[in-house]
Amino acid sequence: MKWASYERLRQAIAAGASTAVVTRLGDGAQALFDGERWDDGLGLDAEQRAGVARMLVADRSGLLQGSEELFVRSYARAPRLIVVGAAHISQFLAPMAMLAGFEVVIIDPRRAFASPERFAGVKLVHRWPDEALADLKLDATSAVVTLTHDPKLDDPALIAALSSPAFYVGALGSKRTHAKRIERLTEAGLADKVGRIHAPVGLDLGGRSPREIAVSILAQVIQVRYRGALG
């Protein structure tokens, strides 16, 4: 590994950024992907880059699918689940996700909802979602779920998430609610990205209680992490 590449990898790991190193076994040439930006000394095509990103999200190392000479070494941080809205569903989703190995962050400027009493041991951010997400620096191992039902909170969060490399973006709401959401986000210039939103959020397991919806959301996040958006 060249010294410049090593330094970038070291700095990324020290900063907590997930990074993948792609090595061509024949000559040792390499590319680095820090979950957002590429330093590509291999000239990888779009399909190969997407494959590397999927391996990084899943924290997998090995030969890149479809290649016998490109080896991917993933240095992935714990996946993050960032929940916008300290709702009843969030109270069940947060501890479930933590047990599943996710770093969980709850964003809600309403301190009465996002309180330590309701979310013991969970990182709480009492800021507007767009500001909070900018500071959190979403990367390829981040998942974002909006649960407030309030466009003033959900929409800025979705705009930030869709403009990031987050591997999962989900939003609570009925099909009718989501159709209106799509109209607003399209007007905001995100027509080419709204298809990334999983809505209604979660796998259709049939449950309707807050804890059951939380299970369905976490199940879908895990499914997308390992199998991609199409499951």
The tens digit of pLDDT for each residue in 13-45 reads 787 778 999 999 999 899 999 877 888 889 899
Residues 6+ apart with CB under 8 A from 91: 118, 119, 210
Please compute the mean of the pLDDT values over residues 104-130 and round it to a whole number: 96
pLDDT in tens, 173-188: 999 999 999 999 999 9
Above pLDDT 90, what percent of the chain? 78
What is the predicted pLDDT for the residue at 229? 67
- Dihedral sign from CA coordinates of 93, 99, 102, 103: positive
pTM: 0.88
> Which residue type occupies 50?
A
Q: Using 50, 70 and 90 to split pLDDT, how confident is the model at 114?
A: very high
* Whether the Cβ atoms of residue 164 and residue 143 lie closer than 8 Å to each other: no
Q: Please, are residues 213 and 198 in contact by the beta-carbon 8 Å criterion?
A: no
Strand bridging mode 19-24 / 168-171: unpaired
Phi, psi of 172 (to 5 degrees): -75, 145
Which structural domains are found in the chain, ordered by start? Answer: 3-75 (no CATH), 80-227 (3.40.50.720)
Coil vs helix vs strand at 206: coil
Report residue 8's pLDDT band, with 50, 70 and 90 as the boundaries: confident
| Mean pLDDT taken over the chain | 92
* 30 bridge partner residues: 23
pLDDT band at residue 76 under the 50/70/90 scheme: confident
**What's the average model confidence in pLDDT over 190-219?**
96
pLDDT at residue 77, as a whole number: 85
Whether the pLDDT of residue 166 is over 90: the answer is yes
Q: What is the pLDDT at residue 7?
A: 81
pLDDT score, position 152 = 94
- Please give the full DSSP string across 98-116, using - where no structure is assigned: HHTT-EEEEE-S-TTTS-T
d(CA 103, CA 120): 14
User: What does the pLDDT read at residue 167?
Assistant: 94
CB-CB contact of 34 with 19 (8 Å)? yes
